[in-house]
Structure 1
Amino acid sequence: MHVTVWNIPETCSEQDVRSFFERELGKYAKGITVYDAGTSNAHADLELDSDLPYVADAVAHELQSRRLAGVALKVSAPPFEDDEPVKRRN
């Protein structure tokens, strides 16, 4: 599962961003990729160590309330996708 984070301050280095998310995510952080660090387009892709779709949604909601270097983060997770369609009972 992946979560994308935008609105990362230009003042943060790639290591600052990695350290922040490693601390915030703990055991759920499988991989952290930072793009365009030090620019106004800086963003990160967080790979979560979980196969459960609701974990990405819960992490996204939790990170949405966090600030990095005083700036509120913007976070999104992919929508839930079931492997099998939901069967309706008649």
Structure 2
Amino acid sequence: MNLIVWNIPETCSEQDVREFLEHELGHYAKTVTVFEQGTSNAYANVELNAEVPYVGDVIAQQVHGKMLCGVALQASATPFNENPAPPPKSV
């Protein structure tokens, strides 16, 4: 399972995002990759240590709305066989 997290504040560094998600997800976070950090389109792809789809959905629900640097994150789970798409770009 993969977790896509977006609405990441522009002021957060890649390391800030990675540390926050690794702390929040604990052993469920296998790898965390941050894209477009420092921009309004920043998002992270988290490979989860979970094989059952509902676990990814529950984790996404737990992360969705968590505050990072005063901004509520948004999150969604995707199965391994689907390529995670980045969130829509802001206008």
Q: Please tell me the TM-score bracket, short chain as reference.
A: 0.7 to 0.9
Q: Which residue of 1 aligns with 2:43?
A: 43
Query: CA–CA distance in 1 between the matches of 2:31 and 2:78?
Result: 16
Query: CA–CA distance in 2 between the matches of 1:65 and 1:12?
Result: 16
Runs of 4+ in structure 1 deviating by more than 2 angstroms, as ranges, are none
Two-structure CA RMSD over aligned residues (Å): 1.4
Partner AA of 2:64 in structure 1:
Q
Give the TM-score normalised by the residue count of structure 1. 0.84
Q: Which residue of 1 aligns with 2:22?
A: 22
1:1-90 matched pairs, under 5 angstroms: 1-78=1-78
Post-superposition offset of 1:50 = 1.2
Superimposed CA distance per residue, residues 30-54 of structure 1 (whole angstroms, 9 cap, x where no aligned partner): 0100001111110000110111111
SS at match of 2:78: coil
- How many residue pairs get aligned? The number is 80
SS at match of 2:60: helix
Post-superposition offset of 1:78 = 2.5
Give the TM-score normalised by the residue count of structure 2. 0.83
Gaps of 5+ in 1: 82-90
Query: CA–CA distance in 2 between the matches of 1:3 and 1:46?
Result: 5
